[in-house]
Structure 1
Amino acid sequence: MQPKANELRFMTKNDGCVHVHPSSVNYTVRHYDSPYLVYHEKVKTSRIFIRDCSMVSVYPLVLFGGDLYQPTIVCVSQVAELVKELRWELDQLLEDKIRNPSMDLCTCPRGSRIIRMIQMKQKTNPESFQ
């Protein structure tokens, strides 16, 4: 049984329990394929609400979400090292692109290699990160 819209809640690092605001297009969503949401705004009225939110899968969080100190993200050490290297390579690639906006990420060797790795990872089992 899916929870009612006003019963569905999420946890934030600083505020604890938050709810999707009734004005959000996601207010009526009862199930998300990922337990993570990104949001633009929090408001506090009768309780803390998030607005302008979108569900996000674990892969973008792992690749673009900053330092990973969350103890709930657990994976095999070899996978963790590969992800760490991929993040570093991706950061370097993005810095190169910022310095050289005309660079074609799909045709440069580093870019095409990283894109292939990300595409390959998308096809694998997302349960490798829990």
Structure 2
Amino acid sequence: MKKIIVLFLFTFQFINAQNHKIDSLNQVIKTTKNDSVKVDAYNKLAWKYIFNDKDKALEILNVTEQLALKTNQKYGYNTFLNNKGIFFDVNGFSDSAKIYFEKAVAFSKKNKFSVQEQNGYNNLGMYAWNKGKFEEAL
């Protein structure tokens, strides 16, 4: 019985922490005037929804893309490209995912965003791994 209570409390705390994080990101989006911070918050918010609410994730990704392009937030746009690829991958559109991962790598190389480039290659590696192309994944 104690194990069930502990499991319940842990689950409740985890869900509560996630909701708090989402609320915090929404608050940042509403109050900040800094476009870079806003795009970053949208990217993080989209990430929170990618795995459990695809409609909400897609809605946020579309807003993120528009804002990043409109305000010329290149780093945020690069993060968006990787997130959009992950969205497609999670939802079973692996060919579309690969296209976005490749765009993310090319964009990060062009803009010298080494961390984003590494993320893109990691995503391409996971794509290849999931396709059973283990040598390519390496």
Q: TM-score range by the shorter chain?
A: under 0.3
Q: Which has more radius of gyration?
A: 1
Query: Which of the pair has the greater relative contact order for Cα pairs under 8 Å at 6+ separation?
Result: 1
Whose strand fraction is larger, Structure 1's or Structure 2's? Answer: 1
Whose helix fraction is larger, Structure 1's or Structure 2's? Answer: 2
Normalization by structure 1: what TM-score?
Answer: 0.24
